[in-house]
Amino acid sequence: MTTRQSPSHPAPLDAGTRAARAAGNAGEPTVEFAEATPYEQYVGVRQLQALVRPVTEHPAEPAFLVVTQVMELWFTLLRREWELAQRQLRADDLDAAIGSIRRSVHHLRSLDASWGSLLWLTPAEFNGFRDQLGEASGFQSYEYRHVEFLLGLKAESVVRPHRGLPVVHADLQRALAAPSLEDDVLAYLARRGLPVPATVLERDRTVTHEPDPAVTALWAEVYTDPRPGNELFTLGEALTDVAEVFTTWRQRHVTAVRRAMGAKPGSGGSAGLAWLERSAARMVFPDLWAARTVV
């Protein structure tokens, strides 16, 4: 019997074989497998479990570690959805792009809901394993930086911690200079003949952008017709949902920090709460928010 050590693809099964198997099983699930179950081959449960390696015996630590790992997976999924939306916008397939962005809003809500599994963490419990984490901090999450960059929150300084991992570092540097989701939206709007200034289309992509009066006015114009049939309004609302739920996640992180460690300095070397509050205040898609004042 083979025991597979890494996830692999389960053998495909067509509808006819599936029906014949169900008939042969008298409607009951299959329970005989010569090797690891197809579920194990697909999901890689043992690999996932092997990654749950607390560094202390403290009973509060596994939840902290698993929630962090789960959030990393949500970051990866968000990144995939938004990179897909970018490709769809570049192919002028707006319906598909709206579909991807809407899906991502559901993932964001689940990401945000994950805080529920950590809100019980008291300062004494956190102290029980915090020192053993050394300088490890979510600040060093490169997948989170990809998420931020796709949302247009750019900074060269957050790429620097990853110089020790060349592949990760190169990928982040590429993402820093690449168009954000908003850049692709604006390029699409320009191709549809909307008045996006050339200065905006050609702006430096390695920095976070301030709101632009012409882009704000453009969205305000779109928002004068808030009907579901107005596909640009639907796009604007999907992006606003993304900005809102992502902001909620950041604000809940600030609250979780205040609750678990008060205003102590962070393990990543920052002042902690005060630094995070400033970071969380940065606006995602500022023109979409500014347009609401103009409408």
137 is an interface residue for ligand HEM by CB under 6 A: yes
Q: Which is nearer to ligand HEM, 119 or 201 (CB)?
A: 119
Q: Which residue has the tokens 């976070």?
A: 208
> CA-CA distance, 4 to 44, in Å (whole number)?
9
Residues 240-243: contacts with CB under 8 Å, at least 24 apart: 240/285, 240/288, 240/289, 241/102, 241/105, 241/108, 242/101, 242/104, 242/105, 242/108, 242/151, 242/284, 242/285, 243/151, 243/283, 243/284, 243/285, 243/288, 243/289
Q: Which two tokens stand for residue 238?
A: 């999907």
- Pair 233, 227: CB distance under 8 Å: yes
Q: Which is nearer to ligand HEM, 56 or 137 (CB)?
A: 137
Q: How far is the CB of 62 from ligand HEM (least distance, A)?
A: 13
Pick the stretch among 24-32, 91-99, 217-225, 252-260 that binds ligand HEM (CB under 6 A): 252-260
Contacts of ligand HEM in 30-89 (CB under 6 A): 67-68, 71-72
Candidates 54, 138, 197, 211; binder of ligand HEM (CB under 6 A) is 138
Q: Which is nearer to ligand HEM, 61 or 212 (CB)?
A: 61
Coil, strand or helix at 173 = helix
Coil, strand or helix at 62 = helix
279 is an interface residue for ligand HEM by CB under 6 A: yes
251 is an interface residue for ligand HEM by CB under 6 A: no
Is 130 marked within a binding site? yes
Q: Which is nearer to ligand HEM, 236 or 272 (CB)?
A: 272
Candidates 82, 139, 142, 249; binder of ligand HEM (CB under 6 A) is 139
Q: Which is nearer to ligand HEM, 60 or 196 (CB)?
A: 60
268 is an interface residue for ligand HEM by CB under 6 A: yes
Q: Which residue has the tokens 């992180």?
A: 253
Candidates 152, 161, 179, 272; binder of ligand HEM (CB under 6 A) is 272
Q: Which is nearer to ligand HEM, 75 or 223 (CB)?
A: 75
Closest CA to 272 of 157, 139, 76: 139
118 is an interface residue for ligand HEM by CB under 6 A: yes
> CA-CA distance, 176 to 153, in Å (whole number)?
9
Is 107 marked within a binding site? no
Question: What is the rounded (10 degree) CA torsion for 283, 287, 288, 291?
Answer: 130
Candidates 38, 44, 256, 277; binder of ligand HEM (CB under 6 A) is 256
Q: Which two tokens stand for residue 230?
A: 């107005």
The footprint of ligand HEM (CB under 6 A) covers 67-68, 71-72, 118, 121, 137-139, 141, 144, 253, 256-257, 260-261, 266-270, 272, 275-276, 279
Q: Which residues are part of a known binding site for heme?
A: 253
